[in-house]
Amino acid sequence: QVQLVESGGGLVQPGGSLRLSCAASGSSFSIHVWGWYRQAPGKQRELVATLTSGGSTDYADSVKGRFTISDDSAKNTVYLQMNSLRPNDTAVYYCQAYYVGRYYWGQGTQVTVSA
């Protein structure tokens, strides 16, 4: 059973930066695919970024050029560096891991972008 623990959310002004972290425990091998999702109030959860074990990344159009997903395989941790944050980036951000045929989710971390 894989457990994911996220950290790094908070309140930031427009134009600011935050880095989210998500650490996996309970896996014997590296996570196959990492993903970051977000859900704003009243909206569906949406994909933000993905990272495969081979190093391939993909981003939602709304965050391209501003967000970067990366990992530290030795720590089994994924990061989401968020720059040039906008008020409409405000959401609960969730980490997802695909491992041995199953998807696992973190508990979510709140990101609020406001002046």
At residue 108, does pLDDT exceed 80?
yes
Computed over every residue of the chain, the mean pLDDT equals 95
Q: Is 6 left (phi over 0), alpha (psi -120 to 50) or beta?
A: beta
- Please say if the pLDDT value at position 1 is more than 90: no
Asked if residue 80 lies in contact with residue 9, where contact means CB atoms within 8 angstroms, the answer is no
Q: What proportion of the chain, given as a percentage, has pLDDT over 90?
A: 85
> Is residue 93 scored above 80 in pLDDT?
yes
Residue 40 predicted with pLDDT over 90: yes
pLDDT at 29 over 80: no
Residue 3 has pLDDT above 80, yes or no: yes
Q: Is 1 exposed, middle or buried (CB count within 10 Å of its CB: 0-12, 13-18, 19+)?
A: exposed
